Chains A and B, each alone.
Chain A
Amino acid sequence: MGDVFPEVAFTFLGLPVRDTVVSSWVMMALIVAVVLLLRQIRPTALEMVVDFLTDFISEIMRRPAGPFLPLVGSLALYIGVANVIGLVPFLKSPTSDINTPIALSLVVFISVHVYGVQIMGLWPYLKSLASPIFLLPLELISQISRTISLSLRLFGNVFSAEIIIAILFALAPLIVPLPLQGFSIFTGLLQAYIFAALAAVYIAAGLPPRPEQLELEEEDQALETIERELKDHLEE
């Protein structure tokens, strides 16, 4: 059981560095190495990943994924790899330490406002936060509670999976925990998907609604004029 909880690996200038941080560094080196290798060997695989992430983000946010791809895409990649890497011996998944999910959800919390100010401008964004003024406290509460729930959801899922595997490993080693480890790969990837999706939803909620209706109406009008012209042609 003891190896489930994060432990201090070494102290650097008086700062305790936990082993989850060390495995996070290993993970980053691994991701960079795999990406550099794939770029040499098979660039189409990387293109597939980027295409998947772009489609995913633009489908959820209902707008071009361009400015949001670096943040949301790397969140998805980082959390996905971080949840799975706990299965490697001697490495602990960084997300099973409560500090990592809190840091990630604080990044999301700040970037919601950064994107909002960047796209709408400072004053209109502040106005949109308090559009009827009495809703401002509710808005603030929802901002804080969604940040907390985002981090606790990720931490709870990953940590509970690790504890269940550790308990089963203590009871019946080697064979019995295997299906649960496979299941933890699935839930880990699903949690990465959900974290990225919720980050995209929160960012999209802080932005002005797209004038999609107008575009659709314009398309309808264009279609109607084409139909009318066709009818005129046929009648002639």
Chain B
Amino acid sequence: MAEMDPGTLVTVVTIIIAGLGMTIGAIAPALAEGRAVEKALESIARQPDSAGDLRTTLLIAMALLESTAIYVLLVILILLFANPLLDRFF
């Protein structure tokens, strides 16, 4: 590791962090969306008449939940393709 130049080190750390961050950042929204779908399916099974209303609400709620995962993805895309630290070394 000692002979690695700083630019390579930053790149390596960035790639590792990108993988780790996306993994952790995908877990929470996935669990939350699973809970939302579970409750919605239970309600549809109990009251099939409310399926139409529930579907639109569920889609909007899923979009809001999913946006957390997308924030993580955007941060990681910035880290990978427009890393502000790399300019200091090259």
Are A and B physically bound partners?
yes
Query: Which residue in chain B gives the minimum CB-CB distance to A1?
Result: B81
| Binary per-residue interface labels of chain A (190-201) against chain B in the complex, 1 for a CB within 8 Å, 0 otherwise | 100110011001
A122 within 8 A of B: no
B66 within 8 A of A: yes
In the complex, are the beta carbons of B73 and A197 less than 8 A apart? no
In the complex, are the beta carbons of A153 and B63 less than 8 A apart? yes
B51 within 8 A of A: no
A35 within 8 A of B: no
Interface residue total, chain B, C-beta cutoff 8 A? 14
In the complex, are the beta carbons of B77 and A198 less than 8 A apart? no
B45 within 8 A of A: no
Picked from A60, A156, A198, the residue with its CB within 8 Å of the CB of B70 is A156
Contacts of A198 in B (CB 8 A): 60, 63
Contacts of B77 in A (CB 8 A): 159-160, 163
In the complex, are the beta carbons of A157 and B70 less than 8 A apart? yes
Contacts of B60 in A (CB 8 A): 194, 197-198, 201
Query: Which residue in chain B gives the minimum CB-CB distance to A5?
Result: B81
Interface residue total, chain A, C-beta cutoff 8 A? 18
CB distance from A102 to the nearest CB of B (A): 13
CB distance from A161 to the nearest CB of B (A): 11
B59 within 8 A of A: yes
Query: Which residue in chain A gives the minimum CB-CB distance to B52?
Result: A59
Picked from A59, A149, A156, A163, the residue with its CB within 8 Å of the CB of B56 is A59
Picked from A5, A152, A159, the residue with its CB within 8 Å of the CB of B67 is A152
Bound CA–CA A144/B13 (angstroms):
33
Enumerate B58-87 residues with CB–CB distance to A below 8 Å.
Answer: 59-60, 63-64, 66-67, 70-71, 73-74, 77, 81
Picked from A60, A156, A190, A201, the residue with its CB within 8 Å of the CB of B73 is A156
Contacts of B73 in A (CB 8 A): 156, 160
Bound CA–CA A159/B70 (angstroms):
10
Known: A159-B77, A194-B63, A198-B63. A152 touches B56 (CB 8 A): no
| Binary per-residue interface labels of chain A (125-169) against chain B in the complex, 1 for a CB within 8 Å, 0 otherwise | 000000000000000000000000100110111011001000000
Bound CA–CA A60/B74 (angstroms):
29
Picked from A149, A156, A193, the residue with its CB within 8 Å of the CB of B59 is A193
Query: Which residue in chain B gives the minimum CB-CB distance to A59?
Result: B56
In the complex, are the beta carbons of A153 and B66 less than 8 A apart? yes
Subset of 10 A-B contacts with CB under 8 Å:
A59-B52, A60-B56, A149-B67, A152-B67, A153-B70, A156-B73, A160-B73, A190-B59, A197-B63, A201-B60
Which chain B residues have a beta carbon within 8 Å of chain A's beta carbons?
A: 52, 56, 59-60, 63-64, 66-67, 70-71, 73-74, 77, 81
Which 9 A-B pairs give the minimum distances between C-beta atoms?
Answer: A156-B70, A194-B63, A153-B67, A156-B74, A149-B67, A197-B60, A156-B73, A153-B70, A160-B73
